[in-house]
Structure 1
Amino acid sequence: MSKVVLITGGSSGIGKSIGEFLIEKNFTVYGTSRNPDKYKDSRFPILALDVKDNNTIVNTVNTIIEKEDKLDVVINNAGAGITGPIEEIPEEEIKNNFDTNFFGPINVIKAVLPQMRKQQSGLIINITSIAGYMGLPYRGIYSASKGALELLTEAFRMELKGFNINMTNVAPGDFATNIAAGRYHAPLLEDSPYKKSYGNTLSLMDEHVDNGSNPNIMAQAVYKIINTNNPKVHYKVGEFMQKFSIVLKRILPDKVYEKLLMNHYKL
């Protein structure tokens, strides 16, 4: 029997690429979107789910289980970008980002664990970000929310070992997706003390996404993880220098690494 996979945020970008790759490998795939009617031409079913609304999470998970009688793999892919000087980002937007990138995945995990415990098997893959390994200027909230999910996974996977349920992180670098269009940008204020440096950094970030890797690379990585008996705690997928930046952070003195980042962002 084919494995049943749930991908949150499966209507576009990385989630869509993963879903299309997995159906080619004969998996049964369900994606989600807040507006599933917009994706009627999807190659796999797109169900209604908003990670900030726990009722939609529970309803969608139950719908899949009732239909398939199992749920083998859950990919927490839904996420939101956010940029801006931390001082100038409204508190509401900070909370909104954590609701999407951190609390949302927690609630998805809570919804699927009873079924996975019942079947004594399961794999949960949390899509984080290489940005979650370091505090990046003008991406501090995003780094924090993704970094929090990384640490949560480390703890969660130990709690789940006794139930034969695996959990892992996959941290992508920059991929050519529409994430830049959907993220919250704190406005460039004329009287802001951050106007010049934030504006320069914003242009650099958009350039990185526009020149990002093909999201099919992420799909191949996820497929390989699904077929791994004992997944690692952390995976990084992206350009060599993006992955190497994590190694540098581990071995360089903090201030040296900070200087490298500031030079990179021309600060």
Structure 2
Amino acid sequence: MAKEVVLVTGASSGIGRAIAEYLHKKGYAVYGTTRDVSKYPDFGPFRLIKLDVNSAEQVRDAVKEVVGREGQLNILVNNAGVGITGPIEETPYDEILKAFETNFHGPIRMIKEVLPHMREQGKGLIINITSIAGYMGLPFRGVYSASKGALELVTEALRMETQGFDIRITNLAPGDFATNIASGRYHAPVKEGSPYQEVYQNSLDLMNAHVDSGQDPIKVAEKTYTIIKSHNPKVHYRVGTPLQKFSVFLKKILPDKVYEGMLKKHYKL
């Protein structure tokens, strides 16, 4: 029996790499993507291919390469994403657009490209890696929250649109994990004399501390494998600390201003 083929975007480091390596060990034929393959000349154990999810041409080429090599593409893990922080008023608009381009439009490009192949196969699975931050508007992370929240909602629509094709689509929202996302994300500069200067710097320090003390990304990989083995995946999955997952539940049941007050207290606003 041929191995199931998995394509994981943004797999050169962090959560994406953890997922790809874990699934490789479980016996899947895994392809990971990165924007610049030349940075990883001796990469292993899975195959790493060139892909910038912001390029429609590279999306087509990457999917074509995998299908050409393997004759199938069973599972897509939409993991590639970027972080962005800053007061919305002071965040350059081109950076806001870039974040949405990667975090929202990129996964949609991938989905649109793989759906015809999966439909022809008669089955498939798409897992969109979102974020617990996508369930709430976090101060100084509003653009990131919005981009991930938008992907959550699109996934809900896609599940219903593709229900007749035996293609399963779901979201997996991680909390804070120990990765290099903080070093790679866009930070709106803390401006001297800005009305946001002190409160933004304090919030930024808190965010970085959360990532530095975050859990091992292997937990996201394990949850991904659980989803893959499920015959009927749920709409939403979350993985993180009990408090991070509980925060989503509280958002559902608490009055808006009460929940807002909790967030402000947490971020010392």
Q: In structure 1, what is the equivalent of residue 177 of structure 2? A: 175
Matched residue type, 2:11: G
Is there any run of 5+ residues in structure 1 with no aligned partner, and where? none
Matched residue type, 1:6: L
1:87 aligns with 2:89: yes
Q: What number of residue pairs does the alignment pair up? A: 267
The residue correspondences of 1:132-171 to structure 2 (distance < 5 A) are 132-171=134-173
Q: In structure 2, what is the equivalent of residue 26 of structure 1? A: 27
CA distance in 2, matches of 1:83, 1:235: 24
Query: Offset of 1:224 from its aligned partner?
Result: 0.7
Q: In structure 2, what is the equivalent of residue 187 of structure 1? A: 189
CA distance in 2, matches of 1:99, 1:164: 28
SS of match in other structure, 1:50: coil
1:99 aligns with 2:101: yes
Query: Offset of 1:38 from its aligned partner?
Result: 1.5
CA distance in 1, matches of 2:180, 2:161: 35
Query: Offset of 1:136 from its aligned partner?
Result: 0.2
Query: Offset of 1:42 from its aligned partner?
Result: 2.3
* Partner residue of 1:197 out of 199, 202, 221: 199
CA distance in 2, matches of 1:179, 1:2: 31
Identity of aligned residues (%): 59
SS of match in other structure, 1:31: strand
CA distance in 1, matches of 2:185, 2:159: 29
The residue correspondences of 1:1-267 to structure 2 (distance < 5 A) are 1-40=2-41, 41-267=43-269
RMSD of equivalent CA atoms: 0.5
CA distance in 2, matches of 1:146, 1:42: 29
CA distances 1:42-63 after superposition (whole Å, capped 9, x unpaired): 2111100001111000001001
Query: Offset of 1:159 from its aligned partner?
Result: 0.5
CA distances 1:9-36 after superposition (whole Å, capped 9, x unpaired): 0110000001111111110000000011
Matched residue type, 2:169: M
CA distance in 2, matches of 1:191, 1:160: 51
Matched residue type, 2:101: D
CA distance in 1, matches of 2:194, 2:7: 43
Is there any run of 5+ residues in structure 2 with no aligned partner, and where? none
